Amino acid sequence: MIKNDLLNEWIQEIQSLCNPDNIVIWQGTQKQYDELAEDCVSTGKAIRLNPKKRPNSLLFRSHPSDVARVEKRTFISTTKESDAGPTNNWISPSELKPIMTELFRNSMVGRTMYIIPYSMGPIGHEFSKIGVEITDSPYVVLNMHIMTRTGKLVIDLLNKGETFVKCLHSVGYPLKPGQIDPAWPCAPMEEKYISHFPEENMVWSYGSGYGGNALLGKKCFALRIASNQARNEGWLAEHMLILKLTDPKGEINYVTGAFPSACGKTNLAMINPSLEGWKAETCGDDIAWMRLKKDGKLYAINPENGFFGVTSGTSEKSNPVALATVKRDTIFTNAALTDDFDVWWEDLTDEVPVHLIDWQGNDWNKGSDVRPDHPNARFTAPLTNCPILAKEYEEAVPIKAILFGGRRPTTIPLIHQSFNFLHGIFIGSIMGSQITAATIDDNIGKVRRDPFAMLPFIGYNIADYVNHWVDIYKESTDALLPKIFFVNWFRKDENNKYIWPGFGENSRILKWILERTKDYANHKITPIGYVPDINRLDLRNLNITKKALDTLFKVDEKTWLKEIHSIEEYYKMYKDTLPDVLSNQLKLLKERFGF
């Protein structure tokens, strides 16, 4: 029973507005999960996978219009437009709330309204926050059960008066008497709104049932709302993995890493080191909440309780740990279905099945020029499924290094280290990936900047966000704060082939990074930062030529002149709010090159 007056008032308000047929308070028990899962199967919303091959696992198929986050329909709603900044879609609350209120009115007719109290982070931990999502989507409930910590202990905290983030969601598909509910109800694109009200710690999401649009504890709360909370309270909410590394001597270190989409983030979080004696374990693959403690060091915790990963490209070669993680108790979305009721996706196996049911429920035969799975097909699996989950996954761990990364075929070396923390902030602000032909874009060859891998996830003005990183720096010192690095696994040679083998071999770069956190003299100085001394990089048993290595670590003056012009053009979006740290660091970079 919920005894939090503020929460009960809000529930009654939403009940009156959305007018559901039934109300269920989610208790987070396995029994409740199993019953709802079975109801989804019996009503045709989900397919139960072969229990001998994939125990306790489901496959959902979304509507073709509802397959990913919709950034153009994602809004930061603040009283002043300047508080949202140049990187966010802004609508004032006075305009947005009436629109959405009318959309929500009677939106849950014919449906059950689920109330999900949940904790981002271990229940009761000093770093953790409480949220409550109200939704009419069983799919959302099942996924939130895996991705967050739900249940009686969260309700107990709420009953003691714990504050919470209000998260309201509806698929936007009310049912008339006798109307058949589609397998994946959603609203038309123009009616989809994923709206954030950071001044009220509130999220309203309407019309989409998919992923980050609907699992409101994830990107909406844990990044957009939490980043604003972090700014106000003096910590950081970041789009980062957390990785535990143990060297052959048994010394343990933790690193975080921020990478845009398709830059190897989950693969790094689940790396199988090729270096003998090295061990890697994951604390999380997507989000890190970081705070300074009294010792001046930055500590991180993963606020999530599960993985919401992309299936595409995941294989025994690329990520065997991920495959082991999804062997059971997993929800798949938009993967293909095999004839023996297992899932399949592109690159899963070398041998392509002769026949599949594609992600839209149609027959698919080998040789078809249409892929059977959706490129953004997903898996949702508990953290505890992961065979290399660190025992400290529910603890705040001290961070020795922060990695930024991007997909750059030229210009950026395989690895370089910032000269100091402020220079590292600059490196984070310019990170990005080169646009390729795989993207429907007129800017092929240009760099799409994704500062801190947070471009779609900063819940307030990006200039204030950068300055907040500076505020964190001022609370400590370079000696105590993590060292900052930039990695680029994707540099190519003159034949357009990737030079670095990647995957487990990335452990060689991680080793160098940890050595640099101890100020080992195994580096060379370049105008952009420290790069490895090739002769002191651990390349044992690696078949790579000196020419390839020289290309990997080359810092070319002419190329960097173009890069600096690109950075200057990108910084124009700040107009007169460009943070001093960025203008100063850009000036220093130009001076080091002699420009």
Taking residue 266's Cβ as centre, other Cβ atoms within 10 Å add up to 23
CATH number for the region 238-305+391-593 comes to 3.90.228.20
- Round to whole Å and give the CA distance between 282 and 274: 16
| Mean pLDDT score, 255-264 | 90
**What is the three-state SS of 504-523?**
HHHHHHHHHHHHHHCCCCCE
What's the one-letter identity of residue 114?
Y
The percentage of the chain sitting over the pLDDT mark of 90, rounded to a whole number, equals: 96
Helix, strand, coil percentages in the chain from 3-state DSSP, rounded to 5 = 30, 25, 45
pLDDT at 427 over 90: yes
| Mean pLDDT score, 141-156 | 97
- pLDDT score at 445: 61
> Rounded to whole angstroms, what are the CA distances from 521 to 241, 530, 592?
27, 10, 21
Helix (H, G, I), strand (E, B) or coil at 281: strand
Just list the catalytic residues.
263
- Round to whole Å and give the CA distance between 75 and 84: 9
Q: Tell me the domain boundaries of the chain.
A: 5-43+72-234, 238-305+391-593, 306-385
The bridge status of strand 193-197 relative to strand 74-76 is: parallel
The bridge status of strand 193-197 relative to strand 202-206 is: antiparallel
pLDDT digit string (tens) for 361-393? 999 999 999 999 999 999 999 999 999 999 999
| Mean pLDDT score, 448-467 | 97
CATH number for the region 306-385 comes to 2.170.8.10
Which position has the token pair 């696994």?
489
> Rounded to whole angstroms, what are the CA distances from 258 to 398, 428, 515, 570?
17, 9, 20, 20
Range in 142-156, 434-448, 483-497 with the lowest mean pLDDT: 434-448
Helix (H, G, I), strand (E, B) or coil at 138: helix
- Cross-strand pairs, 253: 245
- pLDDT score at 446: 79
CATH topology of domain 5-43+72-234: Phosphoenolpyruvate Carboxykinase; domain 1 (3.40.449)
- Cross-strand pairs, 281: 244
Secondary structure letter of residue 284 according to DSSP: E
Q: How big is the chain by its Cα radius of gyration, in Å? A: 24
Range in 152-161, 374-383, 431-440 with the lowest mean pLDDT: 431-440
Q: What is the mean pLDDT of the chain?
A: 96
Question: Which of 285, 294, 359, 350 has the alpha carbon at shortest distance from 322?
Answer: 285
pLDDT digit string (tens) for 36-74? 999 999 999 999 999 999 999 999 999 999 999 999 999
Domains 5-43+72-234 and 306-385 share a fold: no
| Mean pLDDT score, 103-129 | 98
Q: pTM for the full model?
A: 0.97
| Mean pLDDT score, 204-208 | 98
pLDDT digit string (tens) for 284-297? 999 999 999 999 99
